[in-house]
Amino acid sequence: MTQYAVVGDPIAHSKSPQIHALFAEQTGQAVDYNKHQVSAAEFKDFVLSFFADGGGGLNITLPHKEAAFSLAQQHSSQALLAKAANTLWMDNGELWADNTDGKGIVRDLHKNNGIELKGKRLLVLGAGGAARGALAALIETSPASVIVLNRTFSRARALQSDFSDAYLLEIYDYNHSDVQPCDVVINATSMSIGGAVPPVLPSLLADDCCCYDMMYGKEPTPFMQWARDNNARQVLDGLGMLVEQAAESFFLWRGVRPDTAPVISALRTQL
Ligand code: ATR
């Protein structure tokens, strides 16, 4: 059995061990996946000793994604754009970092839910870590345009600047009213946690719009409820993204792609 784990603080809530156990069972891979609560002060030593002991790979969650990025010697293009990593592994004595969150949301939208991104107008709400991770992959789908709205405009500007070599993001704050309607609207803010909805004008939803909340829960999130009230054609939560980003990590480590559909269904029934 090769050892894998997710590292964060807190970590008790993490569904990653269950997801990877289901992947391992389904694919017959010799994967033993655990979770570890590790403080910021202990993070570097933990990672280095995990791999020195022969560990196969780590997933990294809050608040260590930026530290994981900094610790690695080699980075995928998406980790470089996100400036954050959720997946680590060793190759030829070097620590590699990827960010599979973006691939996860793209696969959930496109493969699982049939949402076309190519040639579409994509709107991302928020400019924090979650938005960065998603945008790193969304810009590679050949959209017509990618618009970012954020409460703190300076943060959107910093994001635009970091992405400028790869893609010209359009950025606005929520008060801006001349943004044309968008085909896919992704809530990458943390506002659902507080039961609130980003102050987006309903006129930004195109007629056949898909609204996606990167959060998920037993009940529809406030943003999903808002999207339904404003006649979005498809309204989705982030459970599929969670499983897809895990599948991308599993694929990086093991070279085998698990079937995500039964795992998403299993997790859905447990919410
Ligand atoms: P994460 O890593 O989850 O993205 P984050 O980096 O703290 O967390 O980013 C949270 C995002 O939610 C930010 O875009 C934040 O907007 P600001 O940059 O203006 O802070 C957004 N957000 C959180 N609470 C908000 C609120 N009450 N109104 C509008 N945006 C909010």
The average pLDDT across 10-25 equals 97
State the Cα torsion 193-15-12-133 to the nearest 10°. -60
pLDDT computed for residue 67 by the predictor:
98
| Residues 6+ away with beta carbon under 8 Å from 182 | 120, 121, 122, 123, 147, 204, 205, 206, 209
pLDDT computed for residue 176 by the predictor:
78
Tell the residue number behind the tokens 């801006």, with chain if given. 176
pLDDT computed for residue 91 by the predictor:
97
CA of 185 to the centre of ligand 1 (A): 16
Q: What CA–CA distance (Å, rounded) separates 70 from 111?
A: 32
CA of 29 to the centre of ligand 1 (A): 38
Letter string b/e over residues 89-118, b meaning 16 or more CB atoms within 10 A of that residue's CB: bbeeeebbbbbbbbbbbbbbbeebeebebe
Q: What CA–CA distance (Å, rounded) separates 50 from 68?
A: 13
DSSP state of 181: P
The average pLDDT across 79-95 equals 97
Task: Determine how many CB atoms are found less than 10 A away from the CB of residue 13.
Answer: 8
pLDDT tens, 165-184? Answer: 999 999 999 987 789 999 99
64 class by beta-carbon count within 10 Å (0-12 exposed, 13-18 middle, 19+ buried): buried
Q: What CA–CA distance (Å, rounded) separates 105 from 214?
A: 8
Q: Considering the chain, what percentage of its residues have pLDDT values greater than 70?
A: 100
124 class by beta-carbon count within 10 Å (0-12 exposed, 13-18 middle, 19+ buried): buried
Domains of the chain: 2-99+240-270 (3.40.50.10860), 102-237 (3.40.50.720)
Nearest C-alpha to atom 7 of ligand 1 is from which residue? 128
pLDDT tens, 203-251? Answer: 999 999 999 999 999 999 999 999 999 999 999 999 999 999 999 999 9
* Predicted model pTM: 0.96
* Ligand 1 atom at shortest distance from the alpha carbon of 127: 14
User: Please, what is the average pLDDT of the chain?
Assistant: 97
pLDDT computed for residue 262 by the predictor:
98
Nearest C-alpha to atom 9 of ligand 1 is from which residue? 128
Q: What are phi and psi of 145, to 5 degrees?
A: -160, 155
Catalytic residues: 65
Q: Are 99 and 136 in contact (CB under 8 A)?
A: yes
Give, for ligand 1, the residue of 147, 190, 192, 242 to mutate: max count of ligand atoms closer than 8 Å to Cβ: 190
pLDDT computed for residue 181 by the predictor:
97
Nearest C-alpha to atom 24 of ligand 1 is from which residue? 191
The average pLDDT across 127-146 equals 97
Q: Which residues line ligand 1 (CB under 6 A)?
A: 126-131, 150-152, 155, 189-191, 196, 198
